[in-house]
Amino acid sequence: MQSFVTHRLPPFTKKYPSEVIAEQIVESVLDDTLFGMVEVDLEVPDSWDDFDHKPDTDMSPYDYFREMSPISVPPKYRSKV
C-alpha cells in the first residue's frame, strides 16, 4: 500500500518529503513542479509612497486592502518572486 501511495505523490512532495524553505517553494513554482495554492503572509505598506500607481482614494493602504488583499505582484517586486 505504501508503494502505491508513494508512486502517486506529486513531484514536489517526492522531491521534498519533509519541511521546505522559501527558496525551494519559489524554485518549484517557477519550474512547474509545484502548482495549486500556496499560503503566504502579505504586508501592506503604511503609506501610498511605496506604490507606483495610487488608487483614487483617501483611505490608507491598510483600509483600502482590508477586505481583499492584492494578489498581483507589483513590477518592482517581480524579480524577487
3-61 pLDDT tens trace: 888 788 888 888 888 898 989 988 888 888 887 776 777 777 788 887 777 788 888 88
Q: What is the structure's pLDDT at 38?
A: 67
Q: Are residues 28 and 44 in the same domain?
A: no
**Assigned domain for 24 exists:** yes
Residue 51: CA count within 13 A, CB half-sphere: 17
The residue that leads in pLDDT, 51 or 77, is 51
User: Which cell numbers hold the place of 34?
Assistant: 509545484
| Within-domain flag for 75 | no
Q: What total number of domains does the chain contain?
A: 2
14 and 30 fall within a common domain: yes
- Judge if 5 and 32 occupy the same domain: yes
**Are both 47 and 58 inside the same structural domain?**
yes
What's the pLDDT at 2?
A: 83
Q: Tell whether 31 and 49 lie within a shared domain.
A: no
Give residue 48's domain range: 40-70
Return the SS3 of 76. helix
